[in-house]
Amino acid sequence: MYVLDTSVISALHRNYYRNSFVSLWKAFDAMTIDGQFTSTREALRELEDLGGEPLGWAHANLALFTTPDAKEGAFVAGIFAVEHFQANIERQKMLRGGRNADPFLIARAFATGATVVTMEQFRPNAAKIPNICEHFKVPSLDLRGFMEKEGWVF
């Protein structure tokens, strides 16, 4: 199972047009129907800010965007307990007008044994999704890594 970051949903719709990348979308839609994707309510809220096709896709797949449970909430608290992550996540949240799904996505992956898929890249001393995932030993991939892991060739 994969936890989809807002950035991945947005990038797919922005860079891989349904009419041009038909086989990619067939594979993606099949995985969606098979329940291989999940996300969080907080990611849905970020998509609401973006609007457009990504939001339309989200509304057609609302069941993917779950409300965090107690286990996820406790994990988010653990992320915020790390001072370095707390400071940087809060700064990102302020820049986005109060929305930041990142810790909730990581918590969802932890709680479900899933892998986070994000467009973010690991950078030394950063508080990006891959950095936080590495710290807590939660698997993460970028979109290219996800496609390679799934053996997608189009």
Instruction: Please state the three-class secondary structure of the chain as a single string.
Output: CEEECHHHHHHHHHHCCCCCCHHHHHHHHHHHHCCCEEEEHHHHHHHHHHCHHHHHHHHHCHHHEECCCHHHHHHHHHHHCCHHHHHHHHHHHHHCCCCCCHHHHHHHHHHHCCEEEECCCCCCCCCCHHHHHHHHCCCEEEHHHHHHHCCCCC
For range 106-127, the mean pLDDT? 94
pLDDT at 154 (0 to 100): 82
Is the pLDDT score of 96 beyond 60?
Answer: no
pLDDT at 79 (0 to 100): 93
For the beta sheet containing 140-142, the strands, ordered from the edge strand earlier in sequence to the opposite edge, are 65-66, 37-40, 2-4, 115-118, 140-142
pLDDT at 99 (0 to 100): 75
pTM as predicted: 0.91
For range 83-111, the mean pLDDT? 79
pLDDT at 95 (0 to 100): 62
Q: Quick one: fold of 2-149? A: Rossmann fold (3.40.50)
Domain boundaries, the chain: 2-149
